[in-house]
Structure 1
Amino acid sequence: MYGISLFDLSWLVVAMLAAGALTGLLAGVFGVGGGAVAVPILYELFRLVGVPEEVRMPLCVGTSLAIIIPTSIRSFLAHRAKGAVDMSILRVWAIPVVVGVIMGSFIARYAPADLFKTVFVVVAGVSAIRLLFGKDTWRFGLDMPAKPIMVVYGWLIGVLSALMGIGGGQLSNLFMTFYNRPIHQAVATSSGLGILISIPGAIGYIYAGLPRAAEYPDVVALQLPLAIGYISLLGFVLFVPTSTWLAPIGARLAHTLSKRRLEVAFGLFLVVVCLRFAVSLIA
């Protein structure tokens, strides 16, 4: 790595392996791809190796989307094995979610770094409020809405997830609980969105990052063989083994927790993410 000692690089490798383990565990517990964990951790690690602020956040987001691919697949398979996934919802959302991801990836090519952070803070904040303080009366309806509304929601989830580097779990959990779906079913169904979002999202961030990497030829973390576009191959290689190993364990843990404990745990987790990027925006 450019500008970093062998000792610091060794600790960077250890930190990424540990972060991958935490990402996989939380991906299984909360039915998310793990991006809400991976992005802030990668942000600090890329700061350590001197990635400029202008490209640091999209590099984190793109890398997170790549990491989510195997993590979300294992999390989804574990939840589906327990029969908790509502496949009818995933079928309705499949096309609009992918369209939204493609649009979000295109926006990422031109968006300023603060846009990614702002989306993180807003979505994480709203989700945390709903989970920590929400009442049963906080509902848009007692059943899922009509298909045209579902399509719009799916598109919005795709766009925002592409800008946040997440598998859509935060957004779909929020949406489904507002429509009276149990948190365990929301978590399980959300795990399937990670597959729909991460694959086209990762491809989109390669496209978005290639011209930016050419603008920063001295930043080794953006160049081959360490990265391709806005995806850090080093981060991907180090995160994936531990994250995919622990995702099924997290999924099994989720089914042992009560509804309220799962809501509080997810809500507190989102508060931490929200505060981290709020501080970064202010600074």
Structure 2
Amino acid sequence: FGFAFLVTFLKLGFSVLSGAIALALMVLPIIIRTTEEAIRTVPDDYRQASLALGATRWQTTSRVVLPAALPGVVTAVMLASGRAVGETAAVWLTAGGALKLPFSLHDPTRPMTLHLYYLAAEGLSLERAYATAAVLLVLVLVVYSLAIFFRQKFGMKRR
């Protein structure tokens, strides 16, 4: 989808922008589903109490439900970010596999996972491959650890 629509049909070419849009479209269902679940976990008593005090449905949603569900939304975004870090195919097919660093959103780039594959496959610079793998591992661990931290800090409980 990303290659056919973004690169070919919209003629964005291999670029950081194409890769970012493709990743955003890939993680959007995760964010939406987890956000829905976070909103569902807000007790109905909160809604009923707000409506009983004379608040409109919009005021109840914006001032009671969404602030109560915010930790779940933050967790959803962090989990989706962790998933996006590990995506290779979508970024490779939309952002390309250039060796140089991008200087604008329209320049091609290379995902770290593809860079790791190339380094390991050529076998000449295994220490760089291990360093890239370590950076990826630490990045994913930090994102997931932050998601767990925020879930525990704000009391987001699993069903």
For the pair shown, which has the larger CA radius of gyration, 1 or 2? Answer: 2
Shared fold per TM-score greater than 0.5: no
TM-score (norm 1): 0.23
Greater length-normalized contact order (CA 8 Å, ≥ 6 residues apart): 1
TM-score (norm 2): 0.34
